[in-house]
């Protein structure tokens, strides 16, 4: 019997991007944890024999350590996708020319670093607009993987932005409409049928199940985090959801390796302990599903036929 498909993706958000979103002026020196995080993540993925998708920020791909990371990721057989150039979670404020520059500049940087031109996109902070979806279609993208169908977005936004001036805040964790967005993949009906592969949340409860949330639970109780994951994956199988699991570099880094990020969930957990939990997550996913990257996941969905559709007006601000 053929096992159902699942996918794993990694948002390669760098230290400066987290600090910038949090309102820390230290971001302007562009501190980076990529030289530490990327080899650790590639080693862990290699141990589990997984080919995944890595969403890369263009501003990092243009610099030496980011370009080396892209080259290493591509050489290891992972798909490289577009995560915007400046990683600003307020793309709804951008004009048409700014949106096009976010895509094209990142595409150029990814190709220059040695990876194929990207065909997948994820908005920073789950930020997406009808204009951007239409632009992705026009530029030949095959899928978007931005939406996070959960009701806790406003709560997470308040937690992440505490201490940040209101005028500097964006729509981090997606628009309010994502509360009722589909958990299953679908096509954007008025963006050329562009495929949307949502970041999976737990069926029925719509609670997040990606790395940073599991680490927050692990910090409170390792047993609780593992039980939560097992429940989420069991519900996915029961409800016919093919999970798309999201990871971040912070899933293998501790506070000493990411200075200034004490505010972020799970940073009190030691790096080795985080890597062990992530290994358990990947092993649990592989025991229940055939695990691929998001691009391959979308290709399989397209071959099987995607019947669900959604209008882009649902994400208009």
The string of pLDDT tens digits covering residues 155-210 is 555 554 555 545 444 455 456 667 778 999 999 999 999 999 999 999 999 999 98
Cα–Cα distance measured from residue 65 to residue 30, given in angstroms and rounded to the nearest whole number: 12
pLDDT reported for residue 168: 47
80: closest CA among 113, 105, 47? 113
Average pLDDT over residues 118-137: 95
Q: Residue 268's domain spans which residues? A: 5-315
Tell me the pLDDT band of 92, cut-offs 50, 70 and 90.
confident
**Measured torsion, CA atoms of residues 246, 251, 255, 257, in degrees rounded to the nearest 10:** -110
Q: What are the CA-CA distances from residue 313 to residues 67, 80, 150, 178, 189 (Å)?
A: 36, 28, 18, 12, 10
Residues 260-288: tens digit of each pLDDT? 999 888 899 999 999 999 999 999 999 99
Tell me the pLDDT band of 21, cut-offs 50, 70 and 90.
confident
- Mean pLDDT estimate for the chain: 92
Q: What are the CA-CA distances from residue 104 to residues 108, 158, 164, 275, 276 (Å)?
A: 6, 32, 30, 34, 37
pTM over 0.75, yes/no: yes
Residues 287-315: tens digit of each pLDDT? 999 999 999 999 999 999 999 999 998 88
Average pLDDT over residues 44-63: 97
Tell me the pLDDT band of 236, cut-offs 50, 70 and 90.
very high
pLDDT reported for residue 169: 47
Percent over 90 (pLDDT), the chain: 81
Structure tokens at 186: 């679908």
Ranges of beta strands (E only) in 223-314 are 244-247, 290-292, 309-310
pLDDT reported for residue 1: 61
- Which residues are CB-neighbours of 253 under 8 A, at least 6 positions away? 33, 36, 37, 40, 271, 274
Please count the other Cβ atoms lying within 10 Å of the Cβ belonging to residue 312.
Answer: 19
Helix axes 222-239, 271-288, angle to 10 degrees: 20
124: closest CA among 257, 52, 20? 20
pLDDT tops 70 at residue 20? yes
* Structural domains of the chain, count: 1
66: closest CA among 314, 256, 195, 249? 249
Q: What is the CATH number of the domain that holds 106?
A: 3.20.20.370
pLDDT tops 90 at residue 87? yes
Q: Exposed, middle or buried by CB within 10 Å (0-12, 13-18, 19+), for 116?
A: exposed
pLDDT reported for residue 221: 95
- The sign one gets for the Cα dihedral 155, 159, 164, 165 is positive
Cα–Cα distance measured from residue 125 to residue 179, given in angstroms and rounded to the nearest whole number: 15
pLDDT tops 60 at residue 79? yes
pLDDT tops 60 at residue 60? yes
Structure tokens at 272: 């080795």
């Amino acid at each position: 019997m053929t096992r159902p498909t699942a996918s794993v993706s990694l948002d390669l958000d760098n230290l400066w991007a987290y600090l910038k979103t949090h309102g820390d002026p230290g971001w302007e020196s562009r501190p980076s944890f990529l030289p530490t995080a990327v080899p650790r993540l590639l080693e862990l993925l290699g141990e589990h024999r997984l080919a995944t998708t890595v969403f890369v920020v263009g501003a990092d791909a243009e610099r030496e350590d980011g370009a080396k990371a892209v080259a290493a990721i591509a050489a290891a057989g992972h798909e490289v996708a577009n995560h915007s150039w400046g990683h600003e979670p307020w793309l709804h404020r951008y004009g048409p020319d700014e949106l096009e520059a976010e895509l094209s500049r990142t595409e150029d940087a990814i190709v220059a670093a040695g990876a194929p031109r990207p065909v997948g996109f994820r908005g920073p902070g789950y930020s997406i607009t009808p204009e951007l979806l239409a632009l992705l279609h026009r530029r030949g993208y095959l899928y978007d993987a931005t939406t996070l169908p959960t009701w806790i977005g406003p709560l997470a936004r308040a937690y992440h932005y505490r201490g940040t001036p209101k005028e500097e805040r964006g729509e981090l964790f997606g628009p309010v409409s994502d509360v009722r967005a589909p958990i299953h993949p679908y096509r954007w009906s008025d963006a050329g049928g562009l495929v949307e592969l949502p970041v999976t949340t737990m069926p029925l409860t719509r609670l997040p199940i990606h790395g940073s949330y599991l680490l927050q639970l692990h910090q409170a109780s390792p047993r609780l985090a593992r039980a939560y994951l097992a429940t989420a994956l069991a519900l996915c199988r029961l409800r016919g959801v093919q999970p798309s699991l999201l990871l971040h570099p912070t899933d293998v880094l501790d506070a000493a390796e990411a200075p200034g990020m004490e505010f972020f969930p799970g940073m009190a957990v030691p790096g080795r302990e985080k890597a062990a939990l992530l290994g358990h997550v990947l092993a649990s996913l592989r025991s229940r599903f055939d695990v691929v990257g998001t691009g391959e996941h979308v290709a399989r969905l397209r071959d099987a036929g995607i019947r669900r559709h959604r209008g882009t007006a649902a994400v208009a601000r």
